[in-house]
Amino acid sequence: MTEAIRFGVIGGSGVYSIDALRDVQETVIDTPFGKPSDAFITGTLEGVRVAFLPRHGRGHRITPTELNSRANIYGFKSLGVQYLVSVTAVGSLREDYAPLDIVIPDQLFDRTRNRERDYTFFGEGLVAHVGFADPFCNDMNAILFQAAQKSGARVHKGGTLVVIEGPMFSTRAESSINRRLGCDLVGMTAIPEAKLAREAEMGYSAIAMVTDYDVWHESHDVVTAEMVVQNLLQNAETGKSILTTALPIAAAHLHDCVCLHALQNAIVTSPERVPEHTRKKLELLVGKYL
């Protein structure tokens, strides 16, 4: 019997593979929402079964707005994933969150605007209002922070990640306003990813790798793609080290959390009123509740 894959990793810019994976296989998944970013890479990391997906596809072919996040999250769900860790590049909006630091954020602020991003699995006759007050999994966050400390990285616990549309970086005015709003980090992909993971009843957490000071910092160079990539290459190995330490701890200690029951009281549509095509489309997510 194949061991269940309870843990998933979605890698952002600079993290397209995990070298420490053993017994590697590629799995191509088609979903009711289209194709994910790439084939899922499954394997064993320090004795833990893991599914990995390069968020932007191998070769970095897909912009943040073009990502089919519904297909990506649905694909992880179909593999049995309960806890999903995002490895993501971010800019810092705080002096003390310096480039090459690691942050385990605990809040999100959505400033995306392109309606091409699909923010929910629901609709088409099925309505659910899912709680999202705490968008990251507190249990997994604690384990990631512990693992990051062991890695020797300079790591910060907590912070608000503002998600912008991209792919262009912020203007100075936008960067300054995001700072005044109380945001600590800026990225482009955690929304709608975190929302969809919550609807799919997954615990979602992020290893945020600081690459730059965005454009607010007067004495820091203006952010460029080259700068981001150079710092990512240094940070990527730290991110992988954190995963190698964190996942065995998570496998031993994470067996249940509130994230895994997010739909329990969220569906408001009467079961008999759900259209059959919608019921079939979302069977993987809502079958146990309808």
b/e map 189-221, b = 16+ CB within 10 Å: bbbbbbbbbbbbbbbbbbbbbbbbbbbbbeebe
More confident residue, 152 or 147: 147
Query: At the fourth CATH level, which superfamily is domain 7-286?
Result: Nucleoside phosphorylase domain (3.40.50.1580)
Examine the residue annotation and report whether 221 is marked as an active-site residue of this protein: no
Active-site residue identified among 30, 212, 221, 256? 212
Q: Where are the domains of the chain?
A: 7-286
DSSP string, 35-103: --SS-EEEEEETTEEEEEEETTTTTT---TTT--HHHHHHHHHHTT--EEEEEEEEEE-STTS-TT-EE
Q: What is the pLDDT of residues 35-76, one digit of tens each?
A: 999 999 999 988 999 999 999 998 889 999 999 999 999 999
Q: What is the pLDDT of residues 168-218, one digit of tens each?
A: 999 999 999 999 999 999 999 999 999 999 999 999 999 999 988 988 887
CA distances (Å), origin 277, targets 14, 32, 52, 125, 287: 39, 11, 30, 10, 13
This prediction has a pTM of 0.93
SS3 content of the chain, % helix, strand, coil (to 5): 30, 25, 45
Examine the residue annotation and report whether 212 is marked as an active-site residue of this protein: yes
Query: Do the Cβ atoms of 96 and 22 come closer than 8 Å?
Result: no
Active-site residue identified among 106, 110, 184, 214? 214
